[in-house]
Structure 1
Amino acid sequence: MAPLNRLGSAPANCWQVDAGEANMVRAQATPRPVNVDAGNKKLTLDLARTAIIVIDMQNDFCHPEGWLAHIGVDVTPARAPIAPLQALLPVLRRENVPVIWLNWGNRPDRLNLSPALLHVYNGDGASVGLGDPLPRSGAHVLELGSWSAGIVDELTIEPTDIHVAKYRMSGFVDTPLDSILRNLGVTTVLFAGVNADQCVLCTLQDANFRGYDTIMLEDCSATTSPEFCMQATIYNVRQCFGFVIGSTGLIEGIG
């Protein structure tokens, strides 16, 4: 008897089918528990059901010639996650933990951006805002496919990594992120990137609202906002939305 054919885009969410049969029993992943200190308690997470989402580590946010630097923001804090992520991501990939790059990416015609959203970054209508060319490079601010929206060179991207474009503070709004996570069989999400008090926090909150276990990686997250914003973010994540851990403790727990 010929074997059934696998039907599905991810090993955790596949049927076995042929012309006369459909077997909807999914393969069960073997748990891979890892213990890590979450500050207020000991935390055990399952690497077999975990993914990491790295948010907005892009030239316009983190490069000294990007958009934020152009409008006078000191991007030094936004570059702080680079070194911890350089150490962590290879470890997670070796453990087959999906790496998801969640990056701001406008349409060239900006039809995915409302006037209310454009106004946040271009209050007078005449400044350099979303989709406008930077004076020095001509790259369009956070436009999908542009240098501005590209991930900083210091972070290595692998062919197995997953890319999701967003154009809101939350990566769950009007994107396929939720469908991708569910297809992967993910229940626990690690969060990293910038800005911790804006896009990272909004995406983490929406993940929590959808029932995911949410963990913020403190040393892999940063913000160009005042320090009290980072302190409030850490407090609120621990108090209301999940856990906060360090990447070094996670690496030690894995290794």
Structure 2
Amino acid sequence: MNPHSLRPLGVPPNAWGVSEAIADLTRPPLPPQPVTLKTQTKCLHLDLAKAAILVVDMQNDFCHPDGWLAHIGVDVTPARQPVAPLNALLRRLRSLGVPVIWVNWGNRPDLLNIGAGLRHVYNPTGEGVGLGDPLPKNGAPVLTKGSWAAAIVDELDNQPEDIYIDKYRMSGFWDTPLDSILRNLGRTTLFFGGVNADQCVMTTLQDANFLGYDCILVEDCTATTSPDYCRQATLYNVNQCFGFVTHSQNIAEAIDNC
């Protein structure tokens, strides 16, 4: 069989080669990109050809002074701290073909898949500005798909070739195509950044661990507006139960030394 006579069908590495008479299901792997990465607990040998980075909830409602969190009195300054290290890290990873996946809260405008218990978290009295309600400063509907409120903050360098996932719960894996996309791309090692570390980042990372992914939290690319003990507990629990914690500089050094 001449492999050059076959036409590719699918997304590598989960792609076939096909012709009128043949379907080649061998799925040749992507060329390996091995690196050695220092983390807080162990030195990891990993393959960047099997890695992706998930950036969680770096959007206006959580990070902008005119967004929903700021409207309810939360100081969003900490949520903006990952911007610079994320931009630097994403440039390095994109240059090596590592997929950048933005996982943002973006609800249906009609909220038909959002139960009362979840809406209560964002509007406990029923009288305030909750999910889908317009923000007083600009009228953007809170955490609604396609709105300014759900958009990635302007300071972050997101590109058309990146992958964009709308989520409807704290976890980016719940009722979304994220797992299917990662499996189709053959990505089993996941870097995590974004906000809030102890909430949406942590629940997404936990679900990834439960699904069998290798999980690496990038500490300086992750932040929270919660009290610092919440951040400390997140780092502890990731190291103890769900994966590894590293720094973006460690990733840069691993790439430089490969």
TM-score, L = length of structure 2:
0.96
**Corresponding residue number in structure 2 for 1:178:** 179
Give the number of equivalent residue pairs. 254
**Corresponding residue number in structure 2 for 1:18:** 19
Q: Does 1:7 align with 2:9?
A: yes
- The aligned runs of 1:198-209 (5 Å cut-off) are 198-209=199-210
Give the SS at the match of 1:44.
strand
- The aligned runs of 1:30-41 (5 Å cut-off) are 30-41=31-42
- How much has 1:5 moved relative to structure 2? 1.9
Identity of aligned residues (%): 64
Alpha-carbon separation, structure 2, partners of 1:140 and 1:91: 34
Alpha-carbon separation, structure 2, partners of 1:106 and 1:41: 38
Alpha-carbon separation, structure 2, partners of 1:192 and 1:36: 17
2:79·2:195 contact (CA, 8 Å) conserved in 1? Answer: yes
Give the SS at the match of 2:159.
coil
Give the SS at the match of 1:136.
coil
Alpha-carbon separation, structure 2, partners of 1:44 and 1:244: 14
Give the SS at the match of 2:207.
helix
- How much has 1:22 moved relative to structure 2? 1.1
**Corresponding residue number in structure 2 for 1:145:** 146
Give the SS at the match of 2:205.
helix
**Corresponding residue number in structure 2 for 1:53:** 54
2:12·2:30 contact (CA, 8 Å) conserved in 1? Answer: no
Give the SS at the match of 2:79.
helix
Moved over 2 A (4+): none
TM-score, L = length of structure 1:
0.97
**Corresponding residue number in structure 2 for 1:112:** 113
Question: RMSD over aligned Cα, in angstroms?
Answer: 1.1
**Corresponding residue number in structure 2 for 1:238:** 239
**Corresponding residue number in structure 2 for 1:79:** 80
Deviation digits for residues 187-224 of structure 1, max 9, x if unmatched? 10000000000000000000000110000000000000
Alpha-carbon separation, structure 2, partners of 1:159 and 1:121: 31
Deviation digits for residues 111-143 of structure 1, max 9, x if unmatched? 121111101111111110111100110000010
Unaligned runs of 5+ in 1: none
Give the SS at the match of 1:51.
strand
- How much has 1:19 moved relative to structure 2? 2.7
Give the SS at the match of 1:191.
strand
**Corresponding residue number in structure 2 for 1:70:** 71
Alpha-carbon separation, structure 1, partners of 2:141 and 2:84: 27
Alpha-carbon separation, structure 2, partners of 1:75 and 1:96: 32
Deviation digits for residues 204-249 of structure 1, max 9, x if unmatched? 0000001100000000000000000000000000000000000011
Q: Does 1:219 align with 2:220?
A: yes
Deviation digits for residues 8-59 of structure 1, max 9, x if unmatched? 1x21110111232211010112221111211222122210100000000000
Alpha-carbon separation, structure 2, partners of 1:16 and 1:42: 37
**Corresponding residue number in structure 1 for 2:252:** 251
Give the SS at the match of 2:5.
coil
Deviation digits for residues 127-165 of structure 1, max 9, x if unmatched? 101111001100000100000000000011111100000
2:119·2:130 contact (CA, 8 Å) conserved in 1? Answer: yes
**Corresponding residue number in structure 2 for 1:122:** 123
